[in-house]
Amino acid sequence: MGEGHLDIDALSALSSQIGRERWRALSDSAQVVANYLAAHPRVEAVRYPGLKTDPDFPRAANELVGGFGPRVAYLAAGEWRLWEADERDPRDQVMELEALLAG
């Protein structure tokens, strides 16, 4: 994953595949995860189109409807990783990431 880039066109296509309600729920969870990762001391960078600091934010805000999607890319220990939010409580997802980052 080059520089953690998330493809806005692919996210738009995904949104139509999974439905509006599920898209919103997954986007909400991903937003929580992205904000957590952005503040984590072991995370060097975060790419999520829902973060205002993300270079894709202006385009994503105009093109993605009902949220910014479930995918969050983050750089930790010099390696880009992709997190995909799911239906679990966002706090549980954050705790899982915390365990991954601690190890």
Residue carrying the six token digits 């930790």? 76
The model's confidence at residue 103, banded by pLDDT at 50, 70 and 90, is confident
Is the pTM here over 0.95, yes or no? Answer: no
Across 4-8, average pLDDT:
84
pLDDT at 2: 55
47 pairs with which residues across the strands? 73
For residues 54 and 75, what is the distance between their CA atoms, to the nearest angstrom? 14
For residues 29 and 6, what is the distance between their CA atoms, to the nearest angstrom? 17
The model's confidence at residue 33, banded by pLDDT at 50, 70 and 90, is very high
Dihedral sign, Cα of residue 28, residue 101, residue 46, residue 6 = negative
2-102 domain in CATH 3.90.1150.10? Answer: yes
Is 60 exceeded by the pLDDT of residue 76? yes
